[in-house]
Structure 1
């Protein structure tokens, strides 16, 4: 790349020397360091700027040795020095900003790995894939959450979405995930687990400094209990978008018979958690997602029709399925989501395949 500005300056020098005396192309030498600053750092930009100054002096010497000390050439050389110095300062500030952005990204990715741990690709007889799509280009974590925990007889999963945005929602998500990981393998029934999670969120909101958020902050969630044996799943639905089962290329939305209010409203609503059950057989693909998926809009304002779009898809492996879903979703919205989105795809393997 550095050949381009240098070749340009050489061409300017040659043309200026051969041109009539009343034509001066020396001011165009500033294009050399300007182009270099677009792709190089301060040292290389400074070097090209110095070469531009030397080239301007060379033009003056070749035209007339006395012109090197003329006011015209001195002004042009001074302008090149000023512009070159400004470009070097710009490159220094740009590199400092790039380092800060790299550090921010590193901290964000580290926080994501700590709070929102990637799900393993295989959990018992299940093949699993997870995906987090951030609405903000530089943000890697938000209020969407998911986690999985093994029990003595199966796997428990949670996917949820904290109302609101910013660091407050991240803290609420971290609180719920910590409570789930601590209690998922200890609570005897799924209803007891959800009651414990609801209590944890409510207790947090009752802490000093958080009481003004009571009734205004809540977390929608779906909590599942997938036994290793059998072909049924237990589910507690807390105001969250319902799961979808893809069976024989047909998408079926699993609506709850008695949905509960979101977590964090227990002190207000006093919910009784009803456990729903639905079929999940070997070869089926279970899709869990947050509302950032179904509330995504295209250029006309139409919502993303998730169940309709995935009907007929042949991808059976969770990773391949989510890869296609991600591409299809981003194409639908034009490349950027308006809200964070989390997705989990789960396939139950047959007893022969899992062994």
Structure 2
């Protein structure tokens, strides 16, 4: 099935990440025939500074690669919660096109057109950690907290649970990383995700939902609301319970790297090989060198040095331990 891709392009790091994603997409997936939408937030009351992309070279490269920049207004979020950009950007996409939403800090490493994606069953990345909720010692439990949110949303809580895991184990409950999300259309996901986010904010605030009294909503709001949105749209976990093979995205065909030092430290060899091949042309190098982390890690020696510090088959369990080791060697930049 033909589908589009949505990413956010914004002044600073995100515009260069958008360029790197576009470069790897065209290199690794020449058979993909959709539109790459680069959604650009517009200046307004939600932003104290102009959030639009500032590099004309990045804009030109994106255009040369076939990407289409599309403006959107921040009505609900903005500078107070930049993670909400992708929720609001979905509203301006064509309503009749399925969409793969990607974080800008993603590279494409395989032919996307060969993945069998059922966009009628939305799914999202399972490459997540136990970040939310954090149940208090004396309750409510994780089961109570998620159950209250499902009840507030009018959704069937029991059908969302993975019964391979015991009650109150975090993996039992539908929780995603928002690094990639599939949906039948941008506006459909926008409506479901925004409604869920508004409900969570209300429940944690003036709604006074007791199960949320001890919980921190920021910066997890988009990831708290996403399972509710996906479940409400008839989706679920990737694999047998969701609409695409598990391990294709954030695996064989894409990599969500978060920061370039982490990519060189942790990514499989095929990711690094693809990125290096895609960024080898001089016209690409000239643009990407405009962002200092890319210059140092992609085109100088810091990427190799970061990679030499770690055994990819025996990585530290927590990302923070990886960051500390990189920082000690002066190999952390963002």
**Higher RCO (CA-CA < 8 Å; seq separation 6+):** 2
> Whose radius of gyration is greater, 1 or 2?
1
TM-score by length of 2: 0.26
Higher strand content, 1 or 2? 1
What TM-score results when the alignment is normalised by the length of structure 1?
A: 0.25
